[in-house]
Amino acid sequence: MSLLTPGALLLGFLCSDALIAGVPLVPWLFAYITFAMGLGIRAREVARAFVRPLPMLAALAAAHILLPLAARGAGGALFGPDSPYTVGFALFMLIPLGISSLMWVVVSGGRPALITALVTFSSLLSPLVVPLGLDLMFGAAIEMDTRGIMLDLLLIVVLPTAAGIALNEATRGRAHAALQPGAAFVSKLAFLAVIVLNAAAIGPHVHALGGAVPAVAAAVVTLVALGYAAGCIAALPWRSPDLTATLAYGCGIRNISLGIVIGLEYFPPEAAMPVVLSILIQQPGAAVFHNLLRRIRGTGTGG
């Protein structure tokens, strides 16, 4: 996927005229992706994290309060406080945590149940967190359809996720065992399709962005690095290597495809650009952090 996602982005840019008619399919594709995510979650995994909720609350506070404020500050310093790019940086830090963090937590010896709960809870909170956060930071400086954003997030994130979890619970995990292999493969195809179509939508505007792209890309790299740092800092009180890996990946990996959907639907193309560029940065950044963890641990996570 780390090779296919940049390819999908490039394909969308190059074939924008041919693909742009498919853009209305994006919300439906994304709803399927979140349903497939929910299909792999058991309610007890989410409930287990609430037995000792402080690590999860620390990660959510870092991910959805401190990092969006840092993003607004960085964007304001580079492009001005009310620039569409600044809105895009804040949006990037307000969108829910990404499900691909689960894979990295597993290979890094973290806590799969906790990251599952973090991703699920962050997704379920998104109809409140995203529009409220943008409104508090920008207010009347940007025109925003708060009700529309909340409704979209409810329809393409909350309800499909809840439906997947409910189906898995109703079948006592049999739905996951029977459907997940095929559903996971199709969800990867849907993810690539979302990237291609959204790149096609933003493609006509990319050339007009011109010299701003390198500065935006550098700021996104910095924000991704800050995400990992914030997760590590949030885990400091517990002095636990596995918890540090879990919270770092939780804060460092975001639901990029959702960010692009919201960015293109409700804001100027410039606001979607930080999220689009993060496609090229997020997974390589996760690999870099994984190697850093192995060096810190000396012998590496695999022993």
Residue tagged 């990037």 (tokens): 92
CATH dotted code for 4-296: 1.20.1530.20
Q: Give the range among 143-152, 196-205, 284-293 with minimum mean pLDDT.
A: 196-205
Q: What is the 3-state secondary structure (H, E, C) of 114-147?
A: HHHHHHHHHHHHHHHHHHHHHHHHHHHHCCCCHH
- Cβ within 8 Å of residue 55, ≥6 positions away: 49, 114, 234, 235, 238, 243, 246, 247
User: pLDDT, tens digit, for every residue of 46-76?
Assistant: 787 788 899 999 999 999 999 999 999 999 9
Token pair 């990319």: residue: 206
**What pLDDT is recorded for position 289?**
93
For residue 143, is pLDDT > 80? no
Where do the domains of the chain lie? Answer: 4-296
N residues, the chain: 303
pTM here? 0.84
For 12, counting Cβ atoms within 10 Å of its Cβ (0-12 exposed, 13-18 middle, 19+ buried), the class is buried
pLDDT digits (tens, 9 = 90+) for 195-220: 888 788 777 766 666 677 788 889 99
